[in-house]
Amino acid sequence: MDLQADQSYLPPNSRIELLLQLKGKHMAGNFSPVARWLNGRLIDVSEGAMEIEYEVREDMCNPMGTLHGGIASTILDDIVGTMVYALGREFAFTSVNLNCDFLNPALPGEVLTAKSQVIRTGKNIIHVEGQIYKTDGRIVAKCTSNMIQTSFKIPAPSAD
């Protein structure tokens, strides 16, 4: 996978460096309102990969008391989107589709690990995958998504 094939990147790793400052911290201070609500803890981020840990809360559950599929989808969409942001492209990307499979339930109090990776980058489309795992290694949900470049130019990250 050649992440540098398109020359519309910002200086190398400026966004990754910004995100790495959050490593080990909960995302309560994140720039994304959804990420703040999910309040995951950043485990790692690199060019084309990301890992975040989440604790299932009662307000994330369906009437059966398990993680709601819409919340699992939100976790996956947020982690793949943030990972694509970290690539440093000049313009923002948005999801064209998000195909999710829900494979095992998760209960309140359980800690889950979400992982994402870039599968293929193109000039305008980036194909990504994401997975959510329980601590015992069982997969809770997985997704594939295609993200398309928008006309919204991303401002340079600030060091505030």
Q: What is the CATH superfamily name and number for domain 14-153?
A: Hotdog Thioesterase (3.10.129.10)
pLDDT, mean of residues 113-141: 97
> pLDDT band at 10, cuts 50/70/90?
very low
- 136 pLDDT exceeds 60? yes
pLDDT tens column, 83-122: 999 999 999 999 999 999 999 999 999 999 999 999 999 9
Between 126 and 4, name the one with better pLDDT.
Answer: 126
The pLDDT of residue 158: 61
The pTM of this model reads: 0.88
> pLDDT band at 14, cuts 50/70/90?
confident
pLDDT tens column, 17-76: 888 888 999 887 777 899 999 999 999 999 999 999 999 999 999 999 999 999 999 999
Residue 107 contacts residue 56 (beta carbons within 8 Å): yes
Domain ranges across the chain: 14-153
